Amino acid sequence: MTTTAEPHTPPEIGGIGHSRKRVEDARFIQGRGNYVDDVNLPGMLYMAIHRSPLAHAKILSIDTSAAEAVEGVIAVVTGELLAGYNLAWMPTLSGDTQAVLATDKVRFQGQEIAAVIATDKYIAEDAATLIDVEYEDLEPIVNPQRSLEADAPLIRDDKEDQETNQCYEWESGDKAATDAAFAAADKVVSLETHYPRSHPAPLETCGIVADVNPATGEATLYMTSQAPHAHRTVFALVAGLPEQNIRIISPDIGGGFVNKVPVYPGYVVATAASLVIGAPIKWIETRTENLISTGFARDYYMKGELAVSNDGKIEALRVEMLSDQGAFYSDAQPTKFRAGLFHIVTGSYDYQYAYVTTRGAYTNKATGGVAYRCSFRVTEASYMIERLVQNAAYEIGMDPADFRAKNFIQPDQFPYETPTGFVYDSGDYEAALNEAKRIVGYDDIQAEKEAARKEGKLVGVGIASFTEVVGAGHGEDYDILGLKMFDSAELRVHPTGKAILKLGVKSQGQGHETTFAQIVAEELGLPADDIKVVEGDTDNTPYGLGTYASRSTPVAGAATAVVARKLRDKAKTIATHLLEASEEDLEWETGKFFVKGDPESSVTIQDIAFAAYTNPAPGTEAGLEGVHYYDPPNMTYPFGTYIVVVDVDAGTGQWKVRRMVAVDDCGVRINPMVVDGQIHGGLAEGYAMSSMQHITFDEAGNNLGSNFMDYLVPTAWETPRFELGETVTPSPHHPIGAKGIGESATVGSPAAYVNAVVDALEHLGVRNIDMPVSGDRVWAAMEEASG
Amino acid sequence: MNVTVTINGAERSADVEPRVLLADFIRSDLGLTGTHIGCDTTSCGVCTVLVDGTPIKSCTMFAVQANGRSITTVEGLKQNGDLSAMQQAFHEQHGLQCGFCTPAMMLVGTAFLEENPNPTEDEIRWAISGNLCRCTGYVNIVKSIQAAAQATTEGANA
């Protein structure tokens, strides 16, 4: 097993590998954070939105007169008004279109119809309730199966070329060869399951303070944005504003989880209203608005099959997936991958054939398809393969850990090309599995499980040995609306040797201000404490695609390392001048250049920085600054093994996590403390989705999870304890060998939790319980199995 | 209506409508934005403040109900200009990520340790179960409160 290497830098430098305490904490623990709702500008007005109570209905009329009559109301904005500015519809980051304010019909419950601008938020909300809309009911479509039937009403009749409710169809792999492998297989193991609709629900809802200066036309937009630069470009395209006049400031963000990647109608309406009225306008969602109208995740109906030989070798995989996309498809979506990166569904295993088909269907629900704490659709794919593999082990009669080990891609097979076309960069899957087995005491717990069964007690052991794909991505394959998915870093070392690093990504709690300074500290030898990190202001940071899909470390982290190396190269040139030595005679050690064989003859990076402004070498450009746009050569592929032990109550079906062991391999760890924190959060969200967190709709399309009393998010009381372990397999193509960690635990853990519950009932013949695995579902599965 | 409160030790007054929530009063009228709003239904707890030392979800209390009472918000946690043991522990133990739930978690933790200076992990988890966090999985929040308890006990014994 490999473990984290000792840091190369002393603690006072604080480079890679140090659990440096976070610099951003100081403001948060003293109540001095600055979230969007904390931004207050002189003369600011407030906006509230009137939303549709119906899921699918034609709009016959909209009467705003009562709202307009309320004292303190400045304006009421409707779609008809926006249409006059060509703003009633907008493009989405996935290349679809979305209504800003509905004009023709409503397509989901909670859809935006009109907005009230008032002097006070209470008045705005009062007046919004007085808007009277007359509807003609249409059939609500609440699942993708009905949506794709020939006689289903067309949801997107606004789109000229849209003749059915199909949103996309996509395939990957070799169908003929895969079918042939299945036809010849000893055994075929299949699993049909639903990955339920979930909502990221960061504790801060979405919002904006839009401030369009009527004198200059400059728009300053304080927005809950995980991707401020991409959003600026979208605003330029949507609103027709010159891009240099748009400044998006994404201040502190109270959690994102991809909820804050799409552009929402409220942002656009507030900006348009500020432009017309000439005053700053604040719009902050209520929790209910957040849960009923912003991007949903998951809702995949999946059927997977594995072809397996009698001796336990996986030979082929076949998966059909149907997703419920809601009324508009609005997530940031790589152009080439209409169904996201679902083809990671081949997992950590070595076999030749796979064939995957995915279809997405429009329904009368809020926009779907956001990649909630995962790369586009990787969570669902990982869940499918890890559930299938567990069931295959049962059919073959092998221990599920042994079955995995027998089928793993081996370390010497990397780079490994999968049957669906990914090239995995590096991995040592068995090392992670063995470490997880060691921590949990695998053989003992399996023996205890067998003994418990004899006493009528139900213990289950669930494994997931996932492989993730993150770090989108190389520009050749990955773009959003044509914008290549590079990211950027600009580094300026000041004359006194202090520095500022500016990034195109945007932290929402991941701790970039701490960890990205550590990358610079590692490369330049400047103390991390001397480096300020700035993000989230499009006027003052280089262009980037933003923070989601665990891409900040793989892409912007690489850009940071490369720009620091560029400056070190320039520093070397200056050092030759200062030391009167040739470049070949100079050697670098943390923080200084010295003359080979004469370590006393040295110059520190701080001396060099001062010289860059006061005494640059003749003929060299002054200054010690640079910028780099990093286009990654490949994705990175973090992996790990999670093992969950559960106790299931045989009488009620209630289950409790006894152990949750998570061994992650995310390559080189920049800040182990922050990495562990990311894993903790992901494991909790994985538990949430496995056990309680889902949003359902009734037949009329009413959202049944519109607040935190109906949409259950785990508290400290329900959340299990976690035990973490690690292996370190660096990414060979990343400048510092890091792979990204923000989402591994959300991706990998749901299958481990569910596999554990199923394992407890495996001897009864139970092979599947759909998430959320609530006690009543477990009880029903036991009842059905025992006939 | 005029509402007068003692907030973080200072007396403040403002005229508000009877329907104004305490959370809005603190944020808008008193300008203390460290108290956050996350759900409007008393579920998430990010608006928690201490009213006469007791944790109260300020999105579900009217400002007028706080008239004449003493309120502590995150801005009042520092003691003699120094970070409190709870604030220091959240920093040391990586008890926060996005920071949105943090002020409320620290206030609840502070009030809880007043009642129970040597809690078990289960008691801490129960005490903060009215407050949601989406980032940390609660692991390091629990550790922070444990560390604050230890620091406070050691400080008292020193």
pLDDT at A723: 98
CB B141 to CB A286 under 8 A? no
HEC per residue, B50-69 = EECCEEEEHHHCEHHHHCCC
Asked if A282 and A315 sit in the same domain, the reply is no
Mean pLDDT of the A434-446 span: 98
CB B98 to CB A24 under 8 A? no
pLDDT at B121: 98
Cα–Cα distance for residue pair A538/A219, rounded to 1 Å: 12
Asked if A322 and A452 sit in the same domain, the reply is yes
Asked if A114 and A247 sit in the same domain, the reply is yes
User: Is B83 within 8 Å of chain A by CB?
Assistant: yes
The residues near B91 (Cβ < 8 Å, ≥ 6 apart) are: A21, A22, A25, A26, A29, B83
User: Is B144 within 8 Å of chain A by CB?
Assistant: no
Mean pLDDT of the A61-76 span: 98
pLDDT at A528: 98
Cα–Cα distance for residue pair A668/B70, rounded to 1 Å: 50
Q: Looking at the domain assignment, is residue A445 inside a domain? A: yes
CB B141 to CB A713 under 8 A? no
pLDDT at B47: 98
Alpha helix (H) ranges present in A656-774? Answer: 672-691, 744-760
Asked if A219 and A352 sit in the same domain, the reply is no
Q: Looking at the domain assignment, is residue A88 inside a domain? A: yes
Asked if A280 and A328 sit in the same domain, the reply is no
State the Cα angle at B137 between B134 and B140, rounded to 5°.
115
Q: In chain B, what residues touch A717 (CB-CB under 8 Å)?
A: 125-126, 129
pLDDT at A283: 98
Asked if A730 contacts A667 with a C-beta cutoff of 8 angstroms, the reply is yes
Of A580, A610, A630, which residue sits at a domain end? Answer: A630
Asked if A616 and A639 sit in the same domain, the reply is no
HEC per residue, A277-331 = HCCCEEEECCHHHHHHHCCCEEEEEEEEEEEECCCCCEEEEEEEEEEEEECCECC
Asked if A384 and A456 sit in the same domain, the reply is yes
Q: Give percent helix, percent strand, percent coil of chain A, each to the nearest 5.
A: 30, 25, 45
Nearest Cα to B105, choosing from B127, B122, B78, B121? B127
Nearest residue, CB atoms, B91 vs list A21, A32, A286: A21
Q: Looking at the domain assignment, is residue A658 inside a domain? A: yes
Asked if A480 contacts A543 with a C-beta cutoff of 8 angstroms, the reply is no
Q: Looking at the domain assignment, is residue A329 inside a domain? A: yes
Asked if A727 contacts A435 with a C-beta cutoff of 8 angstroms, the reply is yes
Peptide bond into A43 cis (omega under 30): no
Q: In chain A, what residues touch B98 (CB-CB under 8 Å)?
A: 202-204, 252-256, 508-509
Per-window interface: A 161-220 vs B, CB < 8 A: 201-205
Say what the alpha-carbon torsion angle A176, A181, A182, A183 is, to the nearest 10 degrees.
90
Q: Looking at the domain assignment, is residue A416 inside a domain? A: yes
Under DSSP, is residue A257 helix (H, G, I), strand (E, B) or coil?
coil
pLDDT at A376: 85
For A195-222, write each residue's pLDDT tens digit. Answer: 999 999 999 999 999 999 999 999 999 9
Q: Looking at the domain assignment, is residue A700 inside a domain? A: yes
Under DSSP, is residue A639 helix (H, G, I), strand (E, B) or coil?
strand
pLDDT at A238: 82
For B78-123, write each residue's pLDDT tens digit. Answer: 999 999 999 999 999 999 999 999 999 999 999 999 999 999 999 9
Q: In chain A, what residues touch B77 (CB-CB under 8 Å)?
A: 29-31
Q: What is the mean pLDDT of chain A?
A: 96
Q: Is the pLDDT of residue A383 over 80?
A: yes
Nearest Cα to A528, choosing from A2, A6, A17, A57? A17
- Nearest CA of chain B to the CA of A682: how many Å? 7
Q: Is the pLDDT of residue A1 over 70?
A: no
Residues of chain A above pLDDT 90, percent: 93
Asked if A639 and A716 sit in the same domain, the reply is yes
Catalytic residue IDs of A: 226, 373-374, 743
Q: Is the pLDDT of residue A688 over 90?
A: yes
- Nearest CA of chain A to the CA of B81: how many Å? 11
Asked if A642 and A752 sit in the same domain, the reply is yes
Structural domains of chain B in order of their starting residue, each with its CATH number:
2-76 (3.10.20.30), 85-157 (1.10.150.120)
CA distance between the termini of chain A: 46
pLDDT at A375: 82
CB B135 to CB A677 under 8 A? yes
Per-window interface: A 495-514 vs B, CB < 8 A: 508-511
pLDDT at A668: 97
HEC per residue, A131-177 = CEEEEEECCCCCCHHHHCCCCCCCCCCCCCCCCCCEEEEEEEECHHH
Nearest Cα to A269, choosing from A116, A132, A133? A116
User: Is B21 within 8 Å of chain A by CB?
Assistant: no
Mean pLDDT of the A690-718 span: 96
Of A584, A605, A630, which residue sits at a domain end? Answer: A630
Asked if A615 and A539 sit in the same domain, the reply is yes
Beta strands A625-630; A487-493: pairing state: antiparallel
Give the structural domain span for A220.
36-138+205-253+260-293
A138 phi/psi in degrees, rounded to 5: -120, 160
Cα–Cα distance for residue pair A484/A157, rounded to 1 Å: 31
- The CATH number assigned to the domain holding A286 equals 3.90.1170.50
pLDDT at A371: 87
Edge to edge, the sheet with strand A625-630 lists A531-534, A499-503, A487-493, A625-630
Nearest residue, CB atoms, B98 vs list A27, A34, A254: A254
Q: Is the pLDDT of residue A591 over 70?
A: yes
Q: Looking at the domain assignment, is residue A200 inside a domain? A: no
Number of neighbours of residue A443 by Cβ within 10 angstroms:
11
User: Is A382 within 8 Å of chain B by CB?
Assistant: no
**Confidence category of residue A4, pLDDT binned at 50, 70, 90:** low
- Nearest CA of chain A to the CA of B5: how many Å? 19
Nearest Cα to A106, choosing from A131, A129, A80, A137? A137
* B-chain residue closest to A683, CA distance: B137
**Confidence category of residue A5, pLDDT binned at 50, 70, 90:** low
- The CATH number assigned to the domain holding A461 equals 3.30.365.10
Asked if A601 and A656 sit in the same domain, the reply is no
For A356-367, write each residue's pLDDT tens digit. Answer: 999 999 999 999
Q: Kindly state the tokens that stand for A494.
A: 């000041």
Asked if A283 and A362 sit in the same domain, the reply is no
Mean pLDDT of the A241-267 span: 96
Q: In chain B, what residues touch A684 (CB-CB under 8 Å)?
A: 136-138
Q: In chain A, what residues touch B41 (CB-CB under 8 Å)?
A: 287, 707-709
Q: Looking at the domain assignment, is residue A238 inside a domain? A: yes
User: Is A467 within 8 Å of chain B by CB?
Assistant: no
Number of domains in chain A: 3
For A508-559, write each residue's pLDDT tens digit. Answer: 999 999 999 999 999 999 999 999 999 999 999 999 999 998 999 999 999 9
User: Is B1 within 8 Å of chain A by CB?
Assistant: no
Of A573, A599, A630, which residue sits at a domain end? Answer: A630
User: Is A711 within 8 Å of chain B by CB?
Assistant: no
pLDDT at A103: 97
Mean pLDDT of the A373-378 span: 88
For B38-56, write each residue's pLDDT tens digit. Answer: 998 999 999 999 999 999 9
Q: In chain A, what residues touch B135 (CB-CB under 8 Å)?
A: 255, 509, 677, 681
For A313-333, write each residue's pLDDT tens digit. Answer: 999 999 999 999 999 998 777
Asked if ipTM goes beyond 0.90, one says yes
Chosen for mutation from A25, A373, A749 (greatest number of chain B CBs closer than 10 Å) is A25
Q: In chain B, what residues touch A252 (CB-CB under 8 Å)?
A: 98-99
Residues of chain A above pLDDT 70, percent: 99
Q: Is the pLDDT of residue A3 over 70?
A: no
For A459-487, write each residue's pLDDT tens digit. Answer: 999 999 999 999 998 999 999 889 999 99
**Confidence category of residue A282, pLDDT binned at 50, 70, 90:** very high
